[in-house]
Amino acid sequence: MSTRWLQVLLALSLLLNTFVLAGFVYRSWIMPPAFEHSGPPPPPPGPRPSALEMVTHELDLDDTQRQALKAVFDQYAEDRRERIREIQKLREQIAAEYRKPTVDLAKLDSLVDQLTKLRAEFQKEMFHALAQVEGQLRPEQRQRMHQMMADRLGAPFGRPPANAAAQPGPGAQPGRPPQ
C-alpha cells in the first residue's frame, strides 16, 4: 500500500476516534441526566374526576339510571366543590403559619384538626352519595360496586388496588429498569 493511502486511513481513523471521544465526553459530563430533562407529566385536561364519577363510570350506567341519579351527581359535585374550597383555605392558612419566623404549634394543631374534620366529612359525603346510587343499580352492578369499593378501600395506603394495571412512574422509560 502506498504511503498516501496509509496517511488517509490514519487521518480517517483519527477523525473517527475524535468523534467517539467527543460523544463520550458530551454524554458523560455535559448532557444532563434523563430525569432532569423531563418534568412531571402534564395534568389531565379538565378537572379531576371524583370518586363517585369514577365508580359510576366503571358501572356502565344506562341513560335511565343516569337521569334518575342526576340530582345526586349535581348535589355531590356542589358539595365537593365547596369542601375543596374550604380545604384549600385551610391549607393556605397552614402555609402562612409556616412562613412566619416562629411557628405557633397550637394554632397549627387546630388547623390540622379542622383539615382532618373536613376530609372526613368529604369522605362521608362520598359514601352517602354512593348509598343513593346503590338504590338505582341492578343487582350485578351493585355487586360490582361493592367489590370495587372493597378492593379500593382494602388496598395498602398509597398503592393502587390489586386489579389495577401497573403503570410506570414518572421518568420511567420503556426498556430501562428504574434507577
Same domain for 89 and 145? yes
- Which pLDDT tens digit goes with each residue over 88-123? 999 999 999 989 889 889 999 999 999 999 999 988
Cell of 97: 403559619
Same domain for 24 and 60? no
Mean pLDDT of the chain: 80
pTM for this entry: 0.57
Same domain for 67 and 138? yes
Same domain for 57 and 122? yes
Residue 161 has a pLDDT of 56
Residue 1 has a pLDDT of 62
Same domain for 23 and 70? no
Please list the ranges in the chain whose pLDDT falls under 70: 1, 32-47, 158-179
The domain tally of the chain equals 2
Same domain for 28 and 60? no
The answer to whether residue 38 is domain-embedded is no
The answer to whether residue 44 is domain-embedded is no
Same domain for 26 and 57? no
- For residue 66, give the CATH number of its domain: 1.20.120.1490
Q: Which residues form the domain of 23? A: 3-32
The answer to whether residue 170 is domain-embedded is no
Same domain for 58 and 28? no
Q: How far is Cα 132 from Cα 55, in angstroms, rounded to an integer? A: 13
Residue 160 has a pLDDT of 58
Residue 175 has a pLDDT of 44
The answer to whether residue 37 is domain-embedded is no
